[in-house]
A and B are shown apart, each in its own frame.
Chain A
């Protein structure tokens, strides 16, 4: 790739070595460093300073008393989390949904972007592009009420049709645990796919026309063009998205799940994010919630660095 060829400056730094080299590198790249400063300051002030709040995972934090006034309790909250009666179930439910997200939610925008890319009718292409990101603007509350309109056992429009076609016993899709995950995944697909598609469309906008010409000269059909030109062009974006997603794999949309939880499906529905919310409401336990956050963060770091390593092993560029 172009970037890899054009990196003489690195060699210069290495050659001159030690102290003078560092100063010279600073001087040589002063513009670049200057450009980085505002962003870096942002991260330090708004991301790293608040991270001192993570210490409350080891305290019994009372907001009024602050960091200094709250009592230290060591790893108590982590013990509660890992040995609590709910941990196994929460872990299982969270991982299950995470897996479904990887299999269904992650590829969806790529597929839609590719399909849009193949669409020849410009008017339709533009209209569909402007429509599919609408759901991003509708809150989970509205998504949930639409879900009931479609699937309620009493008045669900879609459930009614399915029942008419298939007959038999009416199925209560929104109440039964076995339908919980499919419904959550459907909701997520509907709400997020169009939005994420935009990123891939931007990547696709960068594909060189001449490459298609060349492929066609070689007699490549549409499938081969897709495979040999389009996909490689957006592969770096796919890899970046995959690695980033892995870092937040254990994060579920709390509001979405909370709205679809009921007494019958709670065993299937509860994930770390919803349980933490119940703990917050019922027990006012900030420290516990922070401990859960830390645990998820550590898992996220492992996943993100692991997948970055894997991407590099597979010959991709990775994040860093």
Chain B
């Protein structure tokens, strides 16, 4: 390269740098628009197509609140990505639906992006909800917003009712019964095709990498008396997998797997295909959330509208062999409505906003979000909602806006948990029956629910090392169940977890929980 050319290059480089520098002036933050008292901006999840701001429901909500609302609808699958970008954008909406336990939110909250509402929320009865659930949704006791209610307990066992009749067994009450049913489903040709082509229990692939995954494996751990994620043993909190009951539960599962009572692809079956074997007459038991019953009924009804009601039996949590029963509950919430400090700047603005949110969280507001407009898309009978006018395309649109969008802003009424809104009763008998039984079942199981005491706390070590630590025990457990490692090796992996940072996590969880003063 000649001297002149390299100097030319140097010149071009300088120009480039200058351009870069001039284009680099503004960083991060940016000037955020301030909240004006008349419009509230939201960001929440969307499951279908986005409602139009001119839509009937949108208008009705604005009329009810006496304020304009502007909602950024984000497809559920990409919510995390969009949340990260929004946090960086300097354009955080007034109210944002977030997972309070996600590290991304935790770090932003710590940096002052959101209002700490621990004290303030107490002045708004509609926003507080159940104090125990509110605590669960907090970050180490700090409340960042009202939670979105979910059923506190929804674990259940769904069984092929017709198969049960065929093999002549009763509905299972204990894990031993479950084993017997699974064995009979596998060996006694419940589908009656003369071939041994069925299995009892359908287990799906482990979701994600975290150990506490609300999977059927976790549910069975709890049935055998293991803690729900964390639990007290000898005055100290220990993880689910460091208890004799955990190993008891695993031996039970391994026995079923070894004897071929479980679907052979149990460690790869996609959760989206979980119901397929049940409908295909291949498997007969699913341990999952109770609303799965509705999905199963839908599929079976399409197959045979006459008999579908006789094909699903849903029972509650099962007792362990000695008859003691422990039930597996959830956290009672999914995500919170966090309030941004970027747009809502002053205490006065905050009070104004919370007042509006409180109004929305009242009965009338929650009915709008979770049921729709009375007399338009539903009517009330016996204090229950019955859908009407669904043939009218406009009403159908309204119904869609409720089910796929606005219900995601509900706090005291939401998907699966009617809360203070009306229970929507399906027209067909099998569904009605399921709903009625569900109520009793849940009330009964809640008596023996084993709650996770660590729900309100976030361990810093998990945030720092989770990607490395989380899969250790999860993978080891599945490998043990698959027969690839022995119980001794599983114990060695648990020890490795402790040595790689687990000891510290246990210490932090114990400290943080005791600080909550429970």
Direct contact of A and B (CB under 8 A): yes
A263 lies within 8 A of B111 (CB):
no
**A266 to B88, alpha carbons, bound, how many Å?**
32
* One of B4, B209, B463, B467 near A13 (C-beta < 8 A): B4
User: B192 interface residue, CB < 8 Å from A?
Assistant: no
B270 lies within 8 A of A44 (CB):
no
B470 lies within 8 A of A172 (CB):
no
User: A174 interface residue, CB < 8 Å from B?
Assistant: yes
21 residue pairs of the A-B complex, CB under 8 angstroms, read A17-B4, A48-B20, A49-B20, A49-B24, A52-B27, A62-B108, A63-B84, A63-B85, A64-B92, A66-B27, A148-B268, A148-B270, A153-B268, A262-B205, A262-B268, A263-B205, A264-B267, A264-B478, A282-B103, A282-B209, A283-B103
Q: Mark B10-30, 1 if CB is under 8 A from A, else 0.
A: 010000100110011001110
Q: Which residues 165-196 in A have Cβ within 8 Å of B in the complex?
A: 170, 172, 174-175
Q: Secondary structure at chain B's binding surface: helix, strand, loop or mixed?
A: helix
Q: Categorize the interface residue count of chain B.
A: 35 or more
10 more contacts with CB within 8 A, not counting A63-B104, A66-B28, are: A14-B4, A17-B2, A49-B20, A63-B28, A63-B108, A66-B27, A85-B500, A172-B265, A175-B265, A267-B475
Interface size on A, residues (CB 8 A): 47
B87 lies within 8 A of A152 (CB):
no
A66 lies within 8 A of B88 (CB):
yes
Looking across the interface, which residue of chain A has its beta carbon closest to that of B107? A62
User: B59 interface residue, CB < 8 Å from A?
Assistant: no
Query: CB-CB < 8 A to A154: which residues of B?
Result: 263-265, 269, 277, 282
Q: Which residues 71-104 in A have Cβ within 8 Å of B in the complex?
A: 84-86
User: B348 interface residue, CB < 8 Å from A?
Assistant: no
Query: CB-CB < 8 A to A278: which residues of B?
Result: 209, 466-467, 470-471
User: B173 interface residue, CB < 8 Å from A?
Assistant: no
B residues whose Cβ falls under 8 Å from a Cβ of A:
2-5, 7-8, 11, 16, 19-20, 23-24, 27-29, 80, 84-85, 87-88, 90, 92, 102-108, 110-113, 205-206, 209-210, 263-265, 267-270, 273, 277, 282, 462-468, 470-471, 474-475, 477-479, 482, 484, 500
User: A67 interface residue, CB < 8 Å from B?
Assistant: yes
Q: Mark A276-309, 1 if CB is under 8 A from B, else 0.
A: 0011011111100000000000000000000000
B80 lies within 8 A of A283 (CB):
no
**A24 to B206, alpha carbons, bound, how many Å?**
68
A residues whose Cβ falls under 8 Å from a Cβ of B:
13-14, 17-18, 21-22, 25, 44-45, 48-49, 52, 62-69, 84-86, 145, 148, 152-155, 170, 172, 174-175, 262-264, 266-267, 275, 278-279, 281-286
A68 lies within 8 A of B28 (CB):
yes
Query: CB-CB < 8 A to B11: which residues of A?
Result: 22
B468 lies within 8 A of A49 (CB):
no
Interface pairs A-B: 4 shortest CB-CB: A66-B28, A284-B103, A282-B466, A63-B88
Looking across the interface, which residue of chain B has its beta carbon closest to that of A145? B270
Query: CB-CB < 8 A to A145: which residues of B?
Result: 270, 273
